[in-house]
Amino acid sequence: MKPIEPMEPMKSSTLERIRNNYVVQAWLVLILAICFGGSLAGMQLALGPLIEANKINETLKKVPEMVLGAKKAEKLTKDQQLIIEPQTVEIEKNNRKVFYSVFKAKHPNGDPAGWVAKAVGQGYADKIEILFGMDNKLKKITGLFVLDQKETPGLGNKIMEEGWRQQFVKKKTATPLKVTKEGAKAAHEIDSITGATISSRAVCSIINTTIKDLRAPLSK
Amino acid sequence: MADAPTPYERFIQGILPENPVYRQLLGLCPTLAVTNGLNAAMTMAGATAFVLFCANIITSLIRDLLKPHLRIVIFTLTIATFVTIADRFLAAYMYQMSKTLGPYIPLIIVNCLIICRCEVCASKQSVVHAGMDAIGQSIGFALALASIAAVREILGTGMLFGMRVLPEIWPDWVVMVLPPGAFLTLGLLLGAVNWYGCKNKNNNEL
Amino acid sequence: MSYIVDILLIAVGAALINNFVLYYFVGICPFIGVSRKVDMAFGMGCAVTFVISIAAFLSWTITTYILKPGAPLSKWMAGFFVSPEMAANIDLTILCYIVYIFAISSSVQFVEMYVRKFFPALYKSFGVFLPLITTNCAILFACLTIMSNVAGVDNPADAWDLGRSLTLAVFGGIGFTIAIVIMAGIREELDLCDIPKPLEGAAITFVVAGILALAFMGFTGVDSGLKKALTPEPQETVQVQMIQTSQTLTCSGL
């Protein structure tokens, strides 16, 4: 019988085989990564400005309401729209730098309309973020809006309610505000929400601290 | 493959018999977290449906090119991309809802439901199968989320979709919109679904 | 001193008040699946804590140096292609989800290989959980929280440093371990009870978890109380004020 001849081994160097293995297998991942990366970049270009505008408008839209009151703000026609200047006020307090975001509102003819300050403080459950308006001379509070809160739903949540927030309008800033459970009688007292004393106190203390900190810088 | 389910079967299976939440116990993180109200729950269901559908379609299109040990990487990459798209889209067009849902939209990436469907169905069957499977599972997920959210919202705030449904004298069971309420509702509803399933099985056997 | 108070508050917050499982609902799958026996539950908790800390370290580093707007490494790389002013505005946060999930998967892979090779006894006790942890919501959630505190703050001075991020991660993992071990202890007792048939398995676990969550709600407000107790009363210090008018753009009202 004729001896069976051994077959010739396939010609390929070890290096080539290794390179074949990894790169060939990863080519799909790389191509997908490039495609997806490109689509994400395109989406960022398209939607990025929209998202930024959303973030800014959230606070900017509230400023006229804070300064003039809801009814007057609604009635503003297009050429009566307020000019809003965002500012950052930096204060050194207890050896720490604290930043406040402040908005100066002006009528189109240049007359100052008021100030709006954004402040954050500790509430009952987590931080409470508020926006409150003051008149030009920083003598009275002209509006209050709660931007962000994580208080107990149904209890501390009620700080967002229009009725409770209305109490703050026309309060004088000279005396710090105080929360009372019985019923507000004096000019600087605020009715607390039943069952949510701590949340009510937190809002008042945030306002008091902010007014105290900002009175000097903004009066200049 | 004579035994592989047809697209129609995939669709029907996803709604009740293989419901992702009540039967497979997948995707529990968003089920508990966003079911405070029906608005948030439906937005989350919509986002998950979008990601599941797109991921299934793409995976099915490239199923012949997948290598066994790189497929999880590819699934993850695809899912993460579509979740980013969904998240940015929500932030651009539904900003308030995006803030309410917070970190739970990116958590769709690790939602076991999507990886599971890619693995079980999309990487093995055609685009039509994968698409119908995605639609079926999404409807099932939406049904589950809606059921839990409806119970929590009605008992917790007396509202549905933000509109008052129960009379004013209803004392809102605030605990239902807090974390304990989520767990209790899911547990009891799961028990109810199991009981219903057992009863049906008994009736069929008799 | 105030740094230590900050760390303490973050730690207590992550472990007890805003417990990852019972408040934020992340990490539910292992919570239901692995909580049958106390020793397995403890092993799972340790594995999660370990992986969370590694993932947090990676994600903080990547976010601070590569992903956040104006990050040093990206700015330097982009400086080769575009003008320096454009490079300073570079913002790669759109890629953060993809980067995080790959960082988590690869760190889990490396940890598993390392533990299997060098600590075989340890691998026997919790190594088998490691692949499951990749899809654990808790890890990604910790990374997302760190990102929102590093890249999502309005004021760069408030951005978290590595210490705070690691504290959140480690104590979040510890909170997860506490919750899962308590649940395992309860379920071991439940095995000896008469449970109605429809509620067996996951359903009764959820009901018990609900009662646990109710109990943990009692911790609310502990951090603000601690903060008040530990922070000294601020005296009327001299205030040095500066006004910076940033962004001279004036936007009209609506």
Q: Are A200 and A163 within one domain?
A: yes
pLDDT(A11) > 90: no
> Do the domain assignments include residue A97?
yes
- Gap between the Cα atoms of A59 and B164, Å rounded: 28
Q: Are A111 and A173 within one domain?
A: yes
Helix axes B71-93, B38-61, angle to 10 degrees: 140
**Residues 194-223, chain C, touching A (beta carbon < 8 A):** 220-221
Confidence tier at C208 by pLDDT (50, 70, 90):
very high
Q: Are A27 and A133 within one domain?
A: no
Number of neighbouring beta carbons within 10 Å of residue C237: 10
* Rounded mean pLDDT, A36-46: 90
Give residue-wise pLDDT tens across range C138-197. 999 999 999 988 887 777 777 888 999 999 999 999 999 999 999 999 999 998 989 888
* Number of DSSP helices (H) and strands (E) in chain B, helices first: 8, 2
Integer-rounded Cα Rg, in Å, for chain C is: 22
Of A36, A56, A76, the position where a domain reaches its end is: A56
C49 close to C174: Cβ distance less than 8 angstroms: yes
With an 8 Å Cβ cutoff, is C40 touching chain B? no
Among A32, A43, A152, the residue with its CB nearest the CB of B77 is: A32
Give residue-wise pLDDT tens across range B172-204. 888 888 899 999 999 999 999 999 888 888 887
Q: Are A195 and A140 within one domain?
A: yes
Residue B181 and residue C210: Cβ atoms within 8 Å?
Answer: yes
Q: What's the pLDDT score for residue C142?
A: 93
Among A47, A58, A153, the residue with its CB nearest the CB of B174 is: A153
Q: Which of B35, B52, B32 is nearest to B43 (CA)?
A: B35
CA distance A25 to chain B (A): 7
> Do the domain assignments include residue A214?
yes
CA distance C205 to chain B (A): 7
Which partners does chain C have (≥3 C-beta pairs < 8 Å)?
Answer: A, B
Q: Are A125 and A79 within one domain?
A: yes
Q: What's the pLDDT score for residue B192?
A: 92
Q: Are A107 and A29 within one domain?
A: no
Q: Are A41 and A106 within one domain?
A: no
| Chain B residue whose CA is closest to C199 | B191
Q: Are A25 and A73 within one domain?
A: no
| Chain B residue whose CA is closest to C138 | B107
Among A41, A64, A101, the residue with its CB nearest the CB of C253 is: A64
For residue B177, the chain C residues in CB contact (below 8 A) are none
Q: What's the pLDDT score for residue A12?
A: 60
Residue A154 and residue B66: Cβ atoms within 8 Å?
Answer: no
Q: What's the pLDDT score for residue B1?
A: 40
User: Number of folded domains in chain A?
Assistant: 2
Which partners does chain B have (≥3 C-beta pairs < 8 Å)?
Answer: A, C
> Do the domain assignments include residue A6?
no
Q: Which of A204, A188, A201, A191 is nearest to A144 (CA)?
A: A204
Q: Are A32 and A106 within one domain?
A: no
Q: Are A83 and A136 within one domain?
A: yes
A8 or C241, which is more confident: A8
With an 8 Å Cβ cutoff, is C29 touching chain A? no
pLDDT(C244) > 60: no
Which partners does chain A have (≥3 C-beta pairs < 8 Å)?
Answer: B, C
Instruction: Report how far Cα C188 is from the mean position of its chain's Cα atoms.
Output: 29
pLDDT(C28) > 80: yes
CA distance B191 to chain C (A): 5
C120 or C252, which is more confident: C120
With an 8 Å Cβ cutoff, is C81 touching chain A? no
CA distance B1 to chain C (A): 31
A134 close to A115: Cβ distance less than 8 angstroms: yes
> Do the domain assignments include residue A172?
yes
Name the token pair of C124.
Answer: 């026997």
> Do the domain assignments include residue A3?
no
Interacting residues of A81 by C-beta distance below 8 A, sequence separation 6+:
A64, A108, C252, C253, C254
Confidence tier at B53 by pLDDT (50, 70, 90):
very high
Burial state string for B172-204 with b = 16 or more CB within 10 A and e = fewer than 16: bbbbbbbbbbbbbbbbbbbbebbeeeeeeeeee
Of the residues A32, A57, A84, the best mutation for testing chain C's interface (the one with the most C CB atoms within 10 Å of its CB) is A84
CA distance C199 to chain A (A): 29
Give residue-wise pLDDT tens across range B141-160. 999 999 999 999 988 888 88
Name the token pair of A36.
Answer: 């997806």
Give residue-wise pLDDT tens across range A67-87. 877 777 777 777 777 788 888
Confidence tier at B66 by pLDDT (50, 70, 90):
confident
């949540």: which residue's tokens?
A157
For residue C102, the chain B residues in CB contact (below 8 A) are 76-77
Query: What is the reported pTM?
Result: 0.86
**Residues 126-185, chain A, touching C (beta carbon < 8 A):** none
DSSP strand pairing (C240-244 vs A83-93): antiparallel
With an 8 Å Cβ cutoff, is A219 touching chain C? no
* Rounded mean pLDDT, B126-141: 90
ipTM (interface predicted TM): 0.89
């992986």: which residue's tokens?
C51
C13: burial class by Cβ within 10 Å (0-12, 13-18, 19+)?
Answer: buried
> Do the domain assignments include residue A199?
yes
C210 or B71, which is more confident: C210
* Rounded mean pLDDT, C206-224: 89
For residue A43, the chain C residues in CB contact (below 8 A) are 94
B168 or C177, which is more confident: C177
* Rounded mean pLDDT, C188-214: 90
For residue C94, the chain B residues in CB contact (below 8 A) are 84, 88
Q: What's the pLDDT score for residue C252?
A: 40
Q: Which domain holds residue A150?
A: 63-219
CA distance A186 to chain B (A): 33
* Rounded mean pLDDT, A101-117: 84
Confidence tier at B52 by pLDDT (50, 70, 90):
very high
Name the token pair of A67.
Answer: 């300064």
Confidence tier at A19 by pLDDT (50, 70, 90):
low
* Rounded mean pLDDT, C109-116: 84
Among A25, A43, A155, the residue with its CB nearest the CB of B67 is: A25
Q: Are A166 and A85 within one domain?
A: yes
Among A84, A94, A217, the residue with its CB nearest the CB of C243 is: A217
- Gap between the Cα atoms of C185 and C126, Å rounded: 18
**Residues 140-159, chain C, touching A (beta carbon < 8 A):** 154-155, 157
- Would you put residue A154 in left (φ > 0), alpha (ψ -120 to 50) or beta? left
* Dihedral pair phi/psi, residue C244, rounded to 5°: -115, 125
B101 close to B34: Cβ distance less than 8 angstroms: yes
Q: Are A130 and A47 within one domain?
A: no
> Do the domain assignments include residue A13?
no
